[in-house]
Amino acid sequence: MLIGITGTPGTGKTSVTKLLEKERFYQVIHLNELIKEEKLYSEVDSERDCVVADMDRVYDRVLELHDRSYPVTIVDSHLSHHIADIVIVLRTDPAILRGRLEKRNYSEEKVKENLEAEALDIILAESVEWCEKVFELDTSGESADNTEKAIMRIIRGLRNGNTEELEEEFRPGSVDWFDYPFD
Ligand SMILES: Nc1ncnc2c1ncn2[C@@H]1O[C@H](COP(=O)(O)OP(=O)(O)OP(=O)(O)O)[C@@H](O)[C@H]1O
């Protein structure tokens, strides 16, 4: 089973998937690292300090790496909803996200761009449009450990084929930061 952990940068995907990796029960593909290591991009956007991933090559590489001896393979990336049919979208209140992104020494423009994407539910909306099953998980005010536990609960439900209650609990649309003041 291939599961994407997606969300705006800073919502905690890497922190949480590193915890999940320690369980040794999951294969975890940290896609952004892979894209950089294997140069799976078509362009370097030096102005925005990022790369433009070549999604066809990325997709093929994930399929190659997908090790079916693991019951679950997790793809960690804000691009994972382009690849997996089942995704967990991590969300963070923009006021909290701002603090996390500022610690990375991002430019104010890049911080605002990401906060706006989070407040406008961009990744959630894409996930709902493209993926079969979407769980929305709010990490605001939660520890990474608790977020990991919630993800493990969702994975357990998926493996047991019993997701009705989880789909209700983590229903897309449960957070609303539309009124976040940007200026
Ligand atoms: N509940 C939480 N879950 C995950 N991370 C959290 C949580 N609360 C606080 N954090 C902190 O938020 C930061 C998230 O950074 P992280 O690199 O994991 O985000 P990311 O979503 O993987 O970003 P990127 O897409 O840029 O790789 C870390 O410093 C982490 O310790």
Q: Which pLDDT tens digit goes with each residue over 122-178?
A: 999 999 999 999 999 999 999 999 999 999 999 999 999 999 999 999 999 999 888
The tokens for 180 are 């976040």
Q: Is the pLDDT of residue 102 over 90?
A: yes
pLDDT band for position 183 (cuts 50, 70, 90): low
What percentage of the chain has pLDDT greater than the value 70?
A: 99
Whole-number pLDDT of residue 182: 67
Q: Which CATH number fits domain 2-169: 3.30.950.10, 3.40.50.2300, 3.90.79.10, 3.40.50.300?
A: 3.40.50.300
Residue with more model confidence, 52 or 181:
52
Alpha-carbon distance of 121 to 28, in angstroms, equals 25
Closest to 85 measured CA to CA, from 29, 167, 3: 3
Task: Give mean pLDDT, residues 55-69.
Answer: 96
Cβ of residue 13 lying under 6 Å from some atom of ligand 1: yes
Q: Is the pLDDT of residue 15 over 70?
A: yes
> What atom of ligand 1 comes closest to residue 9's alpha carbon?
25
Reported ipTM:
0.97
Cβ of residue 140 lying under 6 Å from some atom of ligand 1: no
Alpha-carbon distance of 171 to 42, in angstroms, equals 35
Q: What strands, in cross-sheet order, belong to the sheet with 133-138?
A: 26-30, 72-76, 2-6, 86-91, 133-138
Helix (H, G, I), strand (E, B) or coil at 133: strand
Strand partners for 88: 5, 135
Task: Give mean pLDDT, residues 22-35.
Answer: 93
> What atom of ligand 1 comes closest to residue 18's alpha carbon?
18
16 contacts 92 by C-beta, under 8 angstroms: no
Cβ of residue 139 lying under 6 Å from some atom of ligand 1: yes
Q: Whose CA is nearest to atom 12 of ligand 1?
A: 12
- Span from the CA of 101 to the centroid of ligand 1 (angstroms): 9
Whole-number pLDDT of residue 45: 86
Alpha-carbon distances, residue 100 vs 8, 49, 81, 111, 179 (angstroms)? 12, 17, 22, 10, 20
Q: Is the pLDDT of residue 48 over 80?
A: no
Phi, psi of 21 (to 5 degrees): -60, -35
- Span from the CA of 17 to the centroid of ligand 1 (angstroms): 10
